[in-house]
A and B are shown apart, each in its own frame.
Chain A
Amino acid sequence: MALAATGIIFRREFNAYLRSPMGYIVAAVVLLIDGILFYVMALNPPDGELLLSGQALGRFLYIASGMTAIAAVALSIRLVAEERQTGTLLLLDTSPVRDWEILLGKFLSALAFLSLITVATLYMPMLILVNGKISVGHILIGYLGLTLIGGTVLAIGLFATALTRHQLVAAAVASLITGTLFLLWPLAQMVGPPFGRFFAALTIHGRHWVGFEVGTLHLRDVVYYLAMTYFFLFAATKVMEAKRWE
């Protein structure tokens, strides 16, 4: 029943994205901004700098990572807060399903929809692939990175949305946590060791992202993103458990 319940919730949530304008608005905005920034920063850099194909792809992935994080926050904040607000969470709370099954189903549905949006950006690296010299592996590693960073931010968003019935509050909390984890990288470079190393180990971008940007896969980075995702999903489950019995 466990995975069955997760699958049932996954299907409902994924269809909800397809049925609601919210999903399409997020997809349209992300694709539009990705496209504009790709043209402005990767194909025609403002300073007239000539980029190698791999550098252009790296720059695109850099842009896409930020947009993916923003999309992940936008897609995740409704997942629990909306149900709490409309009362539908009571249906799940009084059904024989566990909180982690509910959250996993919701997380996977958001990840699937986010992945659809990400896949829709593939035409940009394909343009570089056709007109320049990059490897398919570089693209695949880059998209694996996008999926991992997207999953991590979705888990953060899920944690935030489990805390409250207000989507705006959830958005603020998710943005604060994600923003802080992004900013740890420049902070790490400013303060130097030993705190700098600590901050660098925690940052969601920078150190853990660079490898994906240049097409180098480090197990350490994959483990980092998976661990962060697990941590926030676990925290969200604990919040749900506490709130279910409040």
Chain B
Amino acid sequence: MVHLTDVTKFYGSKRALGPVSFEIEKGNTVGFLGLNGVGKTTLLRILACGLRPSSGTALVDGFDVLSNPHEVRKRVGYLPELPPVYRDMTVTDYLTFAGRIKGMTADEVARRMPEVQERTRIVEVRDVPTGHLSQGYRQRVGVAQAIIHEPELLILDEPTHDLDPVQIMEMRAMIRSLKDSHTILISSHILPEISRTCDRLLILNDGEIVASGTEEELGEKLFASRTLAVAVRLGADADGDGDGDRAAAVEAARTAIARVAGVTGVQIPDSPGAEAGEAGAVTFRVEGDSDLRAEVCRALVESGHDVVSLNRAERGLERVFVGLVGKGGTWH
């Protein structure tokens, strides 16, 4: 559906994007994740034919954005960061205008209108001027104009921009409902939005794609060492001296884990990152160079401890993101 080869964009001598190359299959929902100013909007606007790439080839459904922009525009629905609504028009008038300008006949627009308004849940405001709408409704109207002509590719640039938490949840639900009928590209610097709605992620930094894949794949790539979270119910006399001393029991369990070949680090409860688990259990974080779940479990049991749970530690997207862009804490 989308095929980019070495696409760059320069503003004067300043490189805003690229070179970037990637492909997106029909029906996928792909998220572009990156901090503000890394080139997400530039990239999406090139695909929407609102910006000319400085070099490279960008194809949408086989049509080049430079040599066949009209064919590309017919196939693309674009929601910019600020919805492009005329504030003096009512919602229905505006959507009629948007549909007509995208090449639909008046009859086609009239037939499509109820479905679009229903789908984006703007039926109740259809006769209200868009200038009187809340930001949430305006954003939905923006989505409605993007899908009115039934584009194959839907490009949403920061679709939850400026929305409150309830509106963000509604927008996510709406995007999920559109996944069946469109290939969707979403940009955001808000991590949950991307991870909860997209099949695949492309992470941009400084105008380049630094990683791509599913959240899990990105986690695997970035955190090559395997981290386990092991909840252990300590043996009653783990240290063998009969007094049941807890500190000694913890140390004994740690030693048992550390002896496992391949373990590169164990965080014990007093250390940052290790915390008490369920009643009577202590959770260790175990770093290793491969999947060591079986070996760690065996070592603990053999040394007299009960393993209550053993999981690969969750690799949140935020950690992936921080690792890739090498910066921290500027997203929501």
Contacts and interface: CB of A to CB of B under 8 A. Distances in A.
Interface of A: 1, 4-5, 8-9, 12, 16, 19-20, 86-97, 244-246
Residues of B contacting A: mostly: loop
A244 B82 contact: no
B162 to A, nearest CB: 13
A9 B78 CA distance: 19
Interface stretch (B49-57, B248-256, B293-301, B317-325): B49-57
B112 to A, nearest CB: 16
B86 A16 contact: yes
Chain A CB count within 10 A is highest, among B82, B83, B84, B97, for: B84
Interface of B: 48-52, 70-71, 73-74, 76, 78, 80, 82-89, 97-98, 100-103, 145
Contacts of B85: 88
A95 B101 contact: yes
Contact of B48 (A16, A94, A97, A246): A94
Contacts, number: 59
B88 A5 contact: no
A8 B51 contact: no
B259 to A, nearest CB: 62
A245 B24 CA distance: 24
B165 to A, nearest CB: 25
Given A12-B86, A96-B73, A91 B101 contact: yes
A217 to B, nearest CB: 38
Contacts of B83: 87
Nearest to B80: A90
Contacts of A97: 101
Given A88-B86, A96-B73, A96-B74, A246 B51 contact: yes
Given A9-B101, A16-B88, A20-B88, A90 B70 contact: no
Given A90-B84, A94-B78, A5 B50 contact: no
Nearest to A9: B101
Contact of A91 (B70, B71, B88, B145): B145
A95 B86 CA distance: 15
Contacts of A87: 80, 82-84
Nearest to B74: A96
A92 B101 contact: yes
A203 to B, nearest CB: 38
Contacts of A86: 84, 87
B220 to A, nearest CB: 37
6 contacts: A1-B103, A90-B84, A92-B101, A94-B48, A94-B78, A244-B50
A94 B73 contact: yes
B88 A88 contact: no
A19 B94 CA distance: 14
A12 B97 contact: yes
Contact of B50 (A12, A19, A93, A96): A93
A49 B183 CA distance: 77
A94 B97 CA distance: 14
A4 B49 CA distance: 21
Given A16-B86, A20-B88, A90 B103 contact: no
B84 A19 contact: no
Contacts of A20: 88
Given A87-B84, A96-B73, 15 more contacts: A5-B101, A8-B100, A9-B101, A12-B86, A12-B97, A16-B86, A86-B84, A87-B80, A88-B84, A91-B101, A92-B101, A93-B49, A95-B98, A96-B70, A96-B102
Contacts of B50: 90, 93-94, 244
A244 B65 CA distance: 13
Contact of B52 (A16, A92, A95, A245): A245
Contacts of B76: 94
Nearest to B70: A96
A86 B87 CA distance: 9
Given A16-B86, A88-B86, A90-B50, A95 B102 contact: yes
A113 to B, nearest CB: 14
Contacts of B89: 12
Nearest to B54: A245
Pairs A-B, 7 closest by C-beta atoms = A245-B52, A91-B84, A96-B73, A88-B84, A96-B70, A94-B48, A94-B78
Nearest to B53: A245
B101 A94 contact: no
B103 A96 contact: yes
B106 to A, nearest CB: 10
A86 B138 CA distance: 13
Contacts of B88: 16, 19-20
A1 to B, nearest CB: 6
B14 to A, nearest CB: 13
